[in-house]
Amino acid sequence: MFVFLSLGSNISPRHHYIDAACRLLEQRVGHILRRSSDFYSAPWGYTSDHQYLNIALLLSSSLSPEQLLVATQLIERELGRTVKNHYQDRTIDIDILRCFSSPASSSASQAENSCSSASAAELVSSPEYTSPASAEELVSSPEYASPASAAELAPSPEYASPASAPELFPGSEITISTPDLVIPHPLMWQRPFVMVPLREVSAGFPLPSS
């Protein structure tokens, strides 16, 4: 499936946390097809002196939405996020915005994806997820300690929209409403820091109408 995510950080070093989250998403969730430019915004829903850095991502993934939720929440915890569903400064926030089925998803495309279709319980117990590095280790590691500037990231071959709209062939939008997960994200239309980056990476996909 195709997945749109919103990432935000307002605890320094913000670029390091965003970059670390992108690398972990690439390793565990799926291939990053598009990454928006950086968007800066004031905190939403509470008051803080620390401005947010926000981006949107489009990924291809073989995980189910429920497995995706488990994976993103684990990444948040590994990067120092301790409280969810509470407005406060945070190292990283990862929100699932929209999901689309992929008519072209085949055994070949699933094999290309680094993530298996394991259950949520299997994801949690997997050795890949049970030895999380601390936030300090992640942001100080040479692998993560090169948070390119917005200008550098925009033309980067890794994130510069390698897949065109005709190549993506988005299927139908996936809708979910459970106590733990609601897709599309119910509040995204109210948040410019979500919608501006989202529209930047949504070419070829139906834009949100609300």
Whole-number Å distance between alpha carbons of 88 and 134: 20
Is 95 an annotated catalytic residue?
yes
Residue 2, strand partner residues: 60, 100
- Contact indicator for 121, 71 with CB cutoff of 8 Å: no
Instruction: Return d(Cα 93, Cα 18) in angstroms, integer.
Output: 9
From its phi and psi, is residue 57 left (phi > 0), alpha (psi between -120 and 50) or beta? beta
Residue 93 among the catalytic residues: yes
Structure tokens given for 174: 């996936």
Among the listed residues 14, 81, 98, 191, the single catalytic one is: 81
Three-state secondary structure of 8-77: EECCCCHHHHHHHHHHHHHHHCCEEEEECCCEEECCCCCCCCCCEEEEEEEEECCCCHHHHHHHHHHHHH
Q: What backbone torsions phi and psi does residue 200 show, to the nearest 5 degrees?
A: -65, -30
Q: Is 199 a catalytic residue?
A: no
Which of 23, 38, 77, 95 is catalytic? The answer is: 95
Q: Could you give the count of Cα atoms lying within 13 Å of 127 in the half-sphere of its Cβ? A: 0
Q: Which of 28, 34, 90, 98 is catalytic?
A: 90
The one catalytic residue in 19, 93, 98, 191 is 93
Active site residue 14: no
Residues acting as catalytic residues: 81, 90, 93, 95
